[in-house]
Structures are given as C-alpha cells and as structure tokens.
C-alpha cells in the first residue's frame, strides 16, 4: 500500500515538473492544437494550445514503475505499460502529423485501426504466452465464469481493446473531461488489483492518478495544455489492458460507462442522420458537445461526467466482488 500511494504522489510531482518545463518547449516548437471546423465555433479560441501533454504523465508513470522494479515479483504490469505505450505511439504519430500539416487530421481511420489491431494482437499474444491471459470470462454480478475457446477469447479481447481505446479517445473533447473521467477508473483498477493481491499491477493506475491530477492543473478550463491523441490513446490502452490483465474485461461495461455512452452517441447520430436523410438525434456528437450546445459550461459537463464515472466505478466494484474475494 505504501508503494502504491508513494507512486501516486511521486507521479504527480514528476508530471507537474515536466508540464512546467515542457509547455514553453511545445510552444516554441509550435506544437499547437488545430481546431476542426465541424466542432463548436467557440472552440476556435483553443487553437494553438500545446498538445502532446500526454507524454508527461506517461513518462511520470513509467518512471514510477521503474523505481519499484527491484521489489517486483510479477512483471505483468510492464506488459500493460508496453501495450498502453504502443497505443500512445499511434497517438503520437497522429499528433505529429497534425502538427506537421497544421490541421486537425492526422493518420487516416484505416491506418489507426490497422495499427491498433496489430498492437492488440501483440498484447494478447504476449499475455497468453506469459500465462497471464486465461480463456475464462467472468460475468459481473452473477459471480460465474464461462469457459470459452482460447481463440474466441483472443478475438474477443482484441475487439475489447480496439473498441475501448477509441472510446476513450472520443472522450477527450473538452477541457479536463478525459482526465477527470479516467481518474475514478484508475482508482477502481488500483483498488481491485491491490485487493486481489496484485500490488505490482496496482502501481500503474495509481501512478496515472497522480500524473492525471498534475495534468488537470494545466488542462482545467481554460486549458493551457492538451494531452493529444498521444495521451488519450495511451489511457485507452491502459484501461482495457488493466481489465484484461485482471481477468475482468466485462467490468468495462460499468467502469467504462462514460466512454461507451460517448461512442454510442456518435454511432446513433450517424445512423439517425442517414436513416432520416439529414435529421440529427443530438445537437452535436459526441454527447459532451450536445450538452455544450444546450448551454452547459465545460466545467459543469466535466464535473457531471466525472461524477457519473465515479458512480459507475462503484457499481463496477460491487459487480466483481465475487472475483476480488476469490
């Protein structure tokens, strides 16, 4: 427990220092956000805000894990970190392309999906070879385990990974939202890993709590720094990898509730638009933009969404008590 708490505090301090040092560098490199024309018009004032802020909390979390390496008996957490970093790398390529071409369009959707599927397959394979991935699917609340064919489980895991990563990415749309929603999720995984006796795995979500808290100091509205796809894809990778590493992928239905709603709002909007030949179900999607268009301030949206995330994480905890207590 002491190492977990110290990792959170240490990550906060390291990320705070890195943020302070790197923001001027990012500005000098003109690594600023380009705002899409299809977004809310008042977001145009955010153009030029430094991106790639995700690099700072990623570095802080990685450093905290390395400091604890001599005391670790299980290396699974480094597989989770590697997986998250791979998705962060896809985000980095996307951010770099945006900066280079000075527009909000980086990698194509096909390029992103292919890279994500490749990294998801790599993670599942490594976890399977290590023996950390089972073919047993725990059903939340019912406290039962279904044995499925390993190949089917691998395919299911890959689907979960790619879907989760992109859902988290969609949530990064207004100041402070993605970090605020993800902190309760990381608190859930840190508590679950510790309760299951896997304190090494708990170090990563604990470190990310500290890093995200430091990032929020600069990302709260009006934001001075954005995490970019580098940060949001890394967080998506961390969320789904932690769920798989702890053998509870279906808990993402609860702890990832906000991410799922964000994704569903986009799917429903597009589907409704096509079926009705131009009508819209929401004023704008993802759904956080709908609330913006309804007159909600960004701070209110963030607080409400973070509160919903925290509540659903509590429900998620109740849903897996049978697994945690084994």
**What is the tens place of the pLDDT at every residue in 248-297?**
999 999 999 999 999 999 999 999 999 998 899 999 999 999 999 999 99
What does the pLDDT read at residue 103?
60
Give the Cβ contact number of residue 22 at 10 Å. Answer: 19
pLDDT higher than threshold 80 for residue 31: no
Cα-Cα-Cα-Cα torsion 48, 54, 59, 60, nearest 10 degrees, comes to: 110
- The b-or-e profile of 146-176 (16+ CB within 10 A means b, else e) is eeeeeeebbebbbebbbbbbbbbbbbbbbbb
Phi-psi region of 108 (alpha: psi -120 to 50; beta: other; left: phi over 0): beta
Q: At what angle do helices 54-68 and 228-245 cross, to 10 degrees?
A: 40
pLDDT higher than threshold 70 for residue 23: yes
**What is the tens place of the pLDDT at every residue in 196-244?**
999 999 999 999 999 999 999 999 999 999 998 999 999 999 999 999 9
- DSSP-derived secondary structure for 63-93: HHHHHHGGG-S--HHHHHHHHHHHHHHHHHH
pLDDT higher than threshold 70 for residue 42: no
Residue 9 CB partners (closer than 8 Å, separation 6+): 210
- DSSP-derived secondary structure for 310-323: HHHHHHHHHHTHHH
- Judged on CB neighbours under 10 Å (0-12, 13-18, 19+), 277 is exposed
What does the pLDDT read at residue 41?
61
**What is the tens place of the pLDDT at every residue in 100-114?**
766 655 677 788 888
Domain ranges, ordered by start, for the chain: 2-324
Q: pTM value?
A: 0.92
Residue 160 CB partners (closer than 8 Å, separation 6+): 240, 243, 244, 249, 252
């Amino acid at each position: 427990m002491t190492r977990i708490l110290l990792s959170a505090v240490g990550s906060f301090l390291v990320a705070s220092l890195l943020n302070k040092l790197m923001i001027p560098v990012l500005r000098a490199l003109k690594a600023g956000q380009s705002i899409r024309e299809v977004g809310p018009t008042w977001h145009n004032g955010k153009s030029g805000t430094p991106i790639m802020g995700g690099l700072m909390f990623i570095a802080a979390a990685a450093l905290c894990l390395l400091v604890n390496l001599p005391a670790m008996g299980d290396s699974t957490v480094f597989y989770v970190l590697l997986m998250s970093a791979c998705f962060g790398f896809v985000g980095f390529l996307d951010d770099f392309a945006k900066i280079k071409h000075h527009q909000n369009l980086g990698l194509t959707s096909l390029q992103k999906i292919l890279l994500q599927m490749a990294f998801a397959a790599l993670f599942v394979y490594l976890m399977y070879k290590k023996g950390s991935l089972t073919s047993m699917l725990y059903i939340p609340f019912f406290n039962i385990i279904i044995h499925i064919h390993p190949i089917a489980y691998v395919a299911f895991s890959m689907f979960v990974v790619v879907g989760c990563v992109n859902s988290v990415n969609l949530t990064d749309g207004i100041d402070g939202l993605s970090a605020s929603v993800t902190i309760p999720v990381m608190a859930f995984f840190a508590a679950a890993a510790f309760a299951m006796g896997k304190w090494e795995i708990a170090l990563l979500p604990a470190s990310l709590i500290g890093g995200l808290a430091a990032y929020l100091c600069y990302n709260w509205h009006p934001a001075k720094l954005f995490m970019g796809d580098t940060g949001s894809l890394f967080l998506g990778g961390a969320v789904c990898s932690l769920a798989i590493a702890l053998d509870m992928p279906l808990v993402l239905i609860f702890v990832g509730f906000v991410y799922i709603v964000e994704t569903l709002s986009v799917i429903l909007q597009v589907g409704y638009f096509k079926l009705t030949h131009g009508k819209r179900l929401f004023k704008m999607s993802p759904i956080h933009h709908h609330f913006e268009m309804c007159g909600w301030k960004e701070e209110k949206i963030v607080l409400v969404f973070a509160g919903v995330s925290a509540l659903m994480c509590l429900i998620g905890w109740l849903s897996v008590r049978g697994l945690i207590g084994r």
